[in-house]
């Protein structure tokens, strides 16, 4: 429980009789928040945003008076910032909430928070190139992760054979599918804003952090004795994911596309090679279009019976065998198809300023967006999911996109799209979640989202890490998935996974057999083991490309199945306490390397995974925190320290805490 020590000169947050946070301490009574005004200009290209900001005014606050009410655990501070306003600070368990009034004419606020020189900071959404963001400026705005300029430069290098997979791109150029105005400090506290506007974290100063928000909005600071406590307090606000369907743990979800014959062949191959298939994902169930970018989809959310004749019967037959069929959906509509015509005639699409349907170019083709702020449109799209996907028999789907709402559009509700943009993926997840809840299928069907914001943890059931490149590049390829999952965990979204082998492939940017197998063995040690054929399937190694891949896939899927009781317990713990399944090492080990390590993770409490993140490697340097560890493949015991360990294909560096029950389950399927 927290309380306050407050007067006109200082405000201290006290927890268990100890000062845990000094919000301000000034002989001049200067409050660490400024208010002002400004405006942004946005330019969107394929989901990538160029944002130009103009600040018109910024005025610091001074304290007029401080009134504490112990009976309600509140402190009210009257402030002057050009004109008089107030902040009400309320204690709620181990959380403190800040609410503002009197600043209605402002649309900017700057919050200055005290920092320590040796502090580490994590979060701001899902980050692929960094984990610790101390020393960075972070733009919290939902967008495409891989923008068009970055991918063009990379492809030029790939075409001409110029490869530098270990060099990171400048951080300020990065965008992310999942942005959230949240950060987690190594000092065991979190900051979370209730804004829906764009915000920025400036974490470059040694003694303070600055948060700028493009509206005046409440925020929280929360504390805990342990990082688990901190995450529970954070997820009390942002929400938690439910437990996953039981079938998810029974093996791997194979990817296939192209039609019924390909679907049948993939299942037959999987069964003949003991791949422990629990599902088959066919993203083109609604139709396929071939573009200059690759084999893409017709965004018309109805079964394409020409491409997949007999699929309705196949789904029922395979469900009876314990094999789920998964599909695909997003919030766009293909303008050439019937669903768009219906939506357009009924006025269900997001409009431009001329009152026409706002068509957004995704890769090479335009598409319309269903307007979630229109209740009729929202229910219409939800009914399509219920009828065309759930009643059809799908066991799950990828609920893609959510990042593309333009800031110059016109919404049915009349809301400012600049303040709605970040919320769009959370509204999209909510629509999918409600379709499951209203049909009684939550807990039976799994959907997974790629974009997100503050309400996504309570609305979605699973994240996947987006359109990673089919390579080992540090920013976009296999390595990038690890900090992405860890940063999601630090924001309160505890269930995540990635496409085995990555997605984006062009020219000689293509998936090798080695990459597929390395990704496969990493994903065996995540909550969900699921493949993807990629943007250009013909360029990529697939689950059945060779006998070596098939043998490897069988071995890794068998391990994933052996992890079922352990994973179910970890997923349940996340649902109850908000502690993610994939966890940072520092959650339990107060060691410098634990705070700095971005490419190892704990799966639950007892398993340490150090995926091989470079090509042509059969050894890997591994940092083990101070504990007793058993090397999974050899059974050798290790203490804390840094070691070079064997890491041949099929035996990625994995260590289990000595005495953990899960080691017995894994040893039953591993031949030493």
Residues designated catalytic: 400, 403, 467
SS3 500: strand
Q: Which residues of 434-460 are buried (b: 16+ CB within 10 A; e: fewer)?
A: bbbeebebbeebbbbbbbbbbbbbbbb
Q: Hunting for tokens 């029922």 — which residue is that? A: 316
416 contacts: CB under 8 Å, gap ≥ 6 = none
Helices and strands, number each (H, E), in the chain = 15, 38
- Rounded Cα gap, residues 207 and 218, in angstroms: 23
Tell me the two tokens of residue 445.
């069907």
Between helix 513-523 and helix 547-562 the angle, nearest 10°, is: 10
78 contacts: CB under 8 Å, gap ≥ 6 = 63, 64, 65, 66, 67, 84, 85, 86
Q: Which helix (H) or strand (E) holds 53?
A: strand 48-69
Tell me the two tokens of residue 360.
């957004």
657 contacts: CB under 8 Å, gap ≥ 6 = 605, 606, 607, 608, 627, 628, 629, 630
Contact at 8 Å (CB) between 280 and 323?
Answer: yes
Beta-bridged to residue 289, according to DSSP, are: 296
- Rounded Cα gap, residues 406 and 423, in angstroms: 12
Beta-bridged to residue 622, according to DSSP, are: 643
Residues 148/152/153/154 CA torsion (nearest 10 deg)? 100
């Amino acid at each position: 429980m927290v309380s306050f020590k407050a007067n006109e000169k200082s405000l201290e947050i006290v927890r268990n009789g100890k000062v845990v946070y000094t919000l301000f301490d000034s002989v001049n009574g200067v409050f660490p928040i400024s208010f002002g005004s400004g405006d942004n200009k946005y330019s969107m290209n394929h989901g990538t945003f160029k944002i130009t900001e103009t600040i018109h005014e910024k005025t610091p606050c001074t304290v007029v008076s401080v009134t504490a009410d112990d009976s309600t655990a509140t402190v009210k501070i009257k402030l002057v910032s050009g004109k008089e306003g107030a902040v009400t600070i309320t204690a709620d368990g181990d959380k403190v909430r800040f609410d503002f009034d009197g600043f209605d004419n402002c649309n900017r606020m700057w919050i200055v928070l005290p920092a320590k020189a040796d502090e580490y900071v994590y979060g701001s959404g899902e980050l692929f190139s960094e984990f610790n963001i101390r020393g960075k400026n972070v733009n919290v705005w939902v967008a495409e992760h891989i923008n068009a300029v970055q991918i063009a430069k990379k492809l030029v290098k790939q075409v001409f054979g110029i490869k530098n997979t270990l060099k990171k791109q400048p951080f300020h150029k990065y965008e992310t599918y999942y942005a959230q105005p949240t950060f987690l400090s190594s000092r065991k506290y979190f900051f979370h804003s209730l804004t829906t506007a764009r915000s920025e974290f400036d974490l470059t100063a040694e003694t303070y952090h600055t948060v700028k928000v493009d509206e005046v909005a409440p925020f929280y600071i929360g504390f805990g004795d342990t990082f688990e406590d901190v995450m529970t307090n954070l997820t009390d606000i942002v929400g938690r994911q439910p437990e996953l369907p039981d079938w998810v743990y029974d093996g791997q979800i194979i990817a296939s596309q192209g039609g019924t014959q390909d679907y049948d062949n993939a299942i037959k191959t999987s069964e003949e090679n003991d791949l422990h298939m629990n599902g088959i994902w066919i993203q083109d169930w609604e139709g396929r279009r071939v573009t200059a970018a690759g084999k893409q989809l017709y965004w018309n959310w109805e079964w394409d019976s020409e491409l997949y004749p007999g699929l309705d019967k196949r789904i029922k037959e395979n469900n009876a065998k314990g094999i789920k069929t998964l599909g695909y959906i997003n919030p766009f509509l293909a303008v050439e198809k019937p669903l768009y015509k219906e939506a357009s005639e009924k006025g269900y699409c997001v409009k431009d300023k001329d009152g026409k349907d706002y068509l957004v170019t995704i890769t090479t083709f335009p598409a319309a967006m269903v307007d979630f702020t229109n209740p009729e449109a929202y229910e219409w799209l939800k009914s399509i999911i219920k009828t065309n996907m759930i009643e059809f028999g799908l066991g799950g789907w990828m609920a893609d996109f959510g990042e593309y709402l333009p800031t110059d559009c016109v919404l049915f509700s009349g809301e400012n799209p600049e303040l709605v943009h970040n919320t769009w993926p959370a509204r999209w997840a909510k629509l999918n979640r409600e379709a499951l809840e209203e049909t009684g299928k939550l807990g039976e069907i799994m959907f997974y989202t790629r974009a997100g914001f503050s309400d996504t943890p309570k609305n979605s059931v699973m994240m996947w890490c987006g359109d990673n490149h089919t390579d080992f590049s540090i920013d976009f390829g296999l390595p990038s998935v690890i900090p992405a999952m860890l940063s999601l965990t630090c924001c309160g979204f505890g269930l995540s996974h990635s496409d085995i082998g990555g997605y984006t492939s062009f020219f000689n940017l293509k998936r090798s057999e080695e990459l597929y197998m390395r990704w496969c063995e990493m994903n065996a040690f995540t909550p969900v083991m699921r493949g993807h054929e990629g943007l250009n399937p013909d360029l990529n190694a697939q689950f059945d490309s060779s006998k070596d891949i098939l043998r490897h896939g069988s071995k890794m899927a068998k391990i994933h199945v052996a992890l079922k009781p352990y994973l179910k317990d970890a997923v349940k713990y996340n649902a109850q306490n908000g502690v993610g399944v994939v966890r940072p090492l520092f959650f339990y080990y107060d060691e410098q390397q634990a705070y700095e390590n971005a490419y190892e993770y704990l799966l639950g409490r007892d398993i340490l995974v150090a995926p091989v993140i470079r090509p042509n490697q059969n050894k890997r340097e591994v940092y083990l925190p101070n504990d007793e560890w058993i090397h999974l493949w050899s059974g050798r015991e290790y203490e804390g320290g840094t070691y070079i360990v064997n890491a041949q294909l099929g035996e990625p560096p994995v260590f289990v805490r000595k005495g953990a029950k899960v080691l017995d389950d894994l040893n039953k399927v591993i031949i030493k």
